[in-house]
């Protein structure tokens, strides 16, 4: 598993206190989690770290991807920049950094959060099924992380899921 810092700010290199780590995947739920984590980080005077996780997959199209210049790392870097922009605009926290990890998302976040003050996650990301209150990654992190875990629910997503459920019955 790799642990790469992306776009670190000057104040994040020598953090004296453990960071609040936020798992992000580009979903609105993860953007909301990053905003909530910033509020906590400000109150606790703690650094803030947005973390995105990717898994290596192989397909018969790998050759074409390498020819096009596309890499998972470039995709994750863009995702992290986009999430930070959506959460903060130009008002990024002073002690903020973005990191990428490689591996199964729950396992990578649990391992990375071992040094965290807290792990913050959205209740559901891009995967999963409509109507679930908690996604599989969030559930695994709640069950196995060694630090406190905060799950931030996206009320808009809950409402949309309820509307979809009502429309299909």
Q: How many C-beta atoms surround the C-beta of residue 116 within 10 A?
A: 23
- What sections of 3-154 are H helices per DSSP? 28-44, 62-68, 72-88, 105-112, 136-144
124, 157 contact by CB (below 8 A): yes
Per-residue pLDDT tens digits for 30-80: 999 999 999 999 999 999 999 999 987 766 665 555 566 778 889 999 999
Question: Hey, which CATH number is domain 3-10+18-168, 3.40.630.30, 3.20.20.70, 3.40.50.620, 3.20.20.60?
Answer: 3.40.50.620
The per-residue pLDDT for range 101-152, each reduced to its tens digit, is 999 999 999 999 999 999 999 987 655 444 445 678 999 999 999 999 999 9
């Amino acid at each position: 598993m790799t642990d790469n810092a992306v776009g670190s700010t000057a104040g994040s290199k020598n953090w004296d206190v453990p960071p609040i780590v936020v798992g992000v995947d580009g979903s609105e739920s993860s953007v909301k989690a990053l905003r909530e984590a910033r509020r906590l980080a400000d109150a606790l005077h703690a650094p803030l770290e947005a973390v995105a996780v990717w898994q290596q997959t192989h397909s018969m199209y790998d050759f074409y991807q390498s020819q096009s210049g596309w890499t998972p790392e470039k995709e994750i870097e863009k995702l992290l920049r986009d999430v930070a922009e959506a959460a903060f605009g130009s008002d990024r926290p002073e002690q903020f950094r973005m990191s990428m990890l490689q591996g199964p998302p729950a396992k990578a976040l649990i391992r990375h959060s071992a040094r965290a003050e807290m792990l913050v996650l959205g209740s559901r990301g891009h995967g999963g099924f409509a109507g679930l209150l908690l996604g599989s990654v969030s559930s695994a992190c709640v069950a196995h992380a060694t630090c406190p875990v905060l799950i931030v629910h996206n009320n808009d997503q809950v409402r949309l899921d309820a509307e979809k459920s009502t429309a299909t019955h």
